[in-house]
Amino acid sequence: MKGTYAKYFLMGLGYMGISVIFSLYEADVPVMLEETFSLSNLATGLVINIDTFFAVAFMPIVTAYSDIVRTRTGRRLPFFLTAMPLMAFFFALSALIPMVLGSSTCSLLVFILMLILTNVFLGVAKGPFMALMCDVTEPRERSVAYGFLNFMGGLGSILVYFGIGHISSYNRFAGFAMASAVALLCALVVGSYVKEVPRVSPLVNSGSWWHEVQTVMNPKYTSLWLELFGVFLWFMAVSGIEVFYVVFVAMESGFPEAIAETLAKLNLGIMSSAFAFFAVPAGWLGARFGSKRVMILGLLLTGFAVSGIMFAGSPVTSRGYFAIAGVGMAMVGINSYPAVMDMAKPTQNGTFTAFYLFASQIAYLISAPLIGFASDLVGSRSVVFELTLVFVFLALVFMVLAKTEKIREDVQ
């Protein structure tokens, strides 16, 4: 058992490295676009949208393709170990662009290019790494294993919101460089100690990732599509808070911008802390009581917390609700991926992971410009809270309809 937890911890370091970059990206890039380049809410959402488009395009394809890859180091690790240094490099470089080129149109275009490259390599690293988790764990262990991965990812977010993010509020390049260094260190440890030894032979499959995709395009997998649509709506809700909360507080709270940005990141840090420390218990609950029941309770908690944040108003008085939101998000997020993977055969881990990632990433693609447009329309970014509640409710409906509690032997 100790060896199992050590394996989860080491794999979690890979997730932590990705999370550090992603969390700082989500917190700082919208602020940079609006403060440095004076973009509107809608334009900011569209830039985030462009970046996410490349993650949507590359991540699922690379992850599904990794099902048929054969190398001396495995199917999944080569993608992760190649992409992580490139992701870290382009992310650190992006912070230098406004410092060197200023706020001109040329500077904006180069800045966006750096963000696109960061997202491309983030997707190439993350998708196959998630599939690797399913390769090396038994189905009954996936909720707990994914809980450990997200616990480590949550620690990465905490590191950003309580440390690196504070530095970045005053010195962007220092913050971005520190996040990149952490990501590189995590990748180095994973490359040194994690060995890809699948629990089943990877040689038994169709030889074509597209064939595996076509296999699930039939009514037999209706519950899969209902679950994936619920995942899509869930990430629509989550991404709204992640992308627009910091800029909402920084621009509309009435506090000085640097102080407001720090307060907002503190609240997101509280939410990430609650998520991280409840990630493993959420996995245990999912394994004990079933992922569907735990996800429904998590959605109800999240809806309650978002309502509280909306009515509390001040970033100071809403901190308790952010803690509740983190717990609810852990209950949903930790169990949604294993619920999808329980319907996969061992040779389909990459393909089903690709579907899950597509559902989550397409939500980010749509959410940012939609909320940005709504904010411009009503004249306030506070609309993010109302839209988040709508998405949480719709996600609840679809996850209730999905019959994900299957006997695992049926798909093995």
- pLDDT tens sequence across 13-49: 998 999 999 889 988 888 888 888 888 877 887 787 7
Classify residue 107 by burial, with Cβ atoms within 10 Å: 0-12, 13-18, 19+.
middle
Domain count for the chain: 1
Domain limits for position 216? 2-196+206-411
Per-residue burial over 175-184, b = 16 or more CB atoms within 10 Å of its CB, e = otherwise: bbbbbbebbb
Q: Please report whether residue 312 resides in a domain.
A: yes
Q: Please report whether residue 342 resides in a domain.
A: yes
Sign of the Cα pseudo-torsion (258, 260, 263, 267, in order)? negative
Q: Which of 78, 116, 49, 114 is nearest to 363 (CA)?
A: 49
pLDDT of residue 409: 43
Over residues 371-381, the mean pLDDT reads 78
Q: Please report whether residue 19 resides in a domain.
A: yes
CATH number at residue 168: 1.20.1250.20
pLDDT of residue 215: 66
- pLDDT tens sequence across 131-171: 888 777 777 777 888 888 888 888 888 888 788 988 888 88
Q: Please report whether residue 63 resides in a domain.
A: yes
pLDDT of residue 180: 95
Q: Coil, strand, or helix at residue 220?
A: helix
- The string of DSSP letters for 150-165 reads HHHHHHHHHHIIIIIH
pLDDT of residue 295: 93
67: which 2 tokens?
Answer: 């099902």
Q: Coil, strand, or helix at residue 286?
A: helix
Q: Please report whether residue 329 resides in a domain.
A: yes
Inter-residue contact 396 to 294 (CB < 8 Å) = no
pLDDT of residue 10: 83
Q: Please report whether residue 11 resides in a domain.
A: yes
Q: Is residue 50's pLDDT more than 70? A: yes
328: which 2 tokens?
Answer: 């609810």
Q: Is residue 203's pLDDT more than 50? A: no
Residue at 143: amino acid letter: S
Q: Please report whether residue 201 resides in a domain.
A: no
User: Could you give the dihedral angle defined by the CA atoms of residues 355, 361, 367 and 370, in that order, rounded to the nearest 10 degrees?
Assistant: -90
- pTM higher than 0.85, yes or no? no
Confidence of residue 3 (pLDDT cuts 50, 70, 90): low
Q: Please report whether residue 27 resides in a domain.
A: yes
